[in-house]
Amino acid sequence: MKILVCISKTPDTTAKIAFTDNNTKFDVNGVQWIINPYDEWYALVKAIELKEADASTTIHLVTVGTADAEPIIRKALALGGDEAIRVNADSHDSFYIASQIAEVAKQGGYDLVLTGKETIDYNGSSIGGMVAELLDLPYISLATKFELAGGNATITREIEGGEEVNVVALPAVVSAQKGMAEARIPNMRGIMAARTKPLKVTEPTAADPMTTVTGFGLPPAKAGVKLVAADNVEELVRLLHEEAKAI
């Protein structure tokens, strides 16, 4: 089985969110970059688990980004995966990125394309669905469990107030979230091995972005907390009822 795992570079969860150039660009000054947690903990680790269960499995990683994305893809390779492909392009919109990933997927003939459920910067949740449509493959989103049986995958996906079990014949595209796999950290052997794993660089395919960011902003600051004395809970209830109209 051949698996393609989509890896995105995102600012660390605790990074300060600020903007420059008249609020049109994310301020990368001093920002620590990480593998998007959903791509790492759930999509990549799930692929590694599948390879551990069946050694004939091949895992390729793909990222769309300029050369400064390479430390992140090496870090992903340290966790696992056989080789990585970097499509040498600035990220534009979701459609542009999905087009690049779909092109790589077409070339590689994968049985399974795994993505994280969303990136923690753009929160689009769009790449998996777009890649699936570009490849005309089934798409199971927000999966919490994944098991293989023959050429079929049994996938549990989240629905409102519960879960649904889906069975689909591979190839398919799956987006992963909490539950799919347990987070791990790379060991020294993995880090050493990652240095010599192949990292191919390919040039982007033509695709026209359909959206552009015209500006960023920060939500208005909260007015400040209104504290109520611990022995006056009735006052809190009154405020919630009369002022906030929340109960």
Among 134, 176, 180, 194, the residue binding other proteins under the rule CB under 8 A is 134
Contact 63, 86 (CB under 8 A): yes
Contacts of other proteins in 43-82 (CB under 8 A) = none
**Region binding other proteins by CB under 8 A among candidate stretches 63-71, 79-87, 196-204, 230-238:** 230-238
Q: Is 190 in the site for other proteins (CB under 8 A)?
A: no
Give the nearer residue to other proteins in terms of CB position, either 35 or 84. 35
Among 127, 149, 194, 206, the residue binding other proteins under the rule CB under 8 A is 127
Distance in Å, CB of 146 to other proteins, minimum: 14
Q: Is 204 in the site for other proteins (CB under 8 A)?
A: no
Among 148, 168, 193, 199, the residue binding other proteins under the rule CB under 8 A is 168
Residues 111, 12: Cα–Cα separation, whole Å = 31
Which residues, at least 6 apart from 123, have a Cβ–Cβ distance to it below 8 Å? none
Q: Is 108 in the site for other proteins (CB under 8 A)?
A: no
Distance in Å, CB of 224 to other proteins, minimum: 9
Distance in Å, CB of 32 to other proteins, minimum: 13
Give the nearer residue to other proteins in terms of CB position, either 109 or 217. 217
Contact 111, 5 (CB under 8 A): no
Q: Is 167 in the site for other proteins (CB under 8 A)?
A: yes
In this structure, what DSSP letter does residue 172 have? E
Contacts of other proteins in 11-40 (CB under 8 A) = 11, 13-14, 17, 19, 37-38
Q: Is 223 in the site for other proteins (CB under 8 A)?
A: yes
Label residue 138 exposed, middle or buried (CB < 10 Å: 0-12, 13-18, 19+): middle
The 10 Å CB-count burial string (b at 16+, else e) for 85-98 is: bbbebebbbbbbbb
Q: Is 125 in the site for other proteins (CB under 8 A)?
A: yes
Q: Is 1 in the site for other proteins (CB under 8 A)?
A: no
Residues 74, 22: Cα–Cα separation, whole Å = 34
Q: Is 83 in the site for other proteins (CB under 8 A)?
A: no
C-alpha distances (whole Å) from 62 to each of 36, 67, 100, 178, 198 are 13, 13, 9, 21, 12
Q: Is 227 in the site for other proteins (CB under 8 A)?
A: yes
**Region binding other proteins by CB under 8 A among candidate stretches 46-54, 55-63, 184-192, 226-234:** 226-234
Q: Is 240 in the site for other proteins (CB under 8 A)?
A: yes
Label residue 130 exposed, middle or buried (CB < 10 Å: 0-12, 13-18, 19+): buried
Residues 84, 178: Cα–Cα separation, whole Å = 24
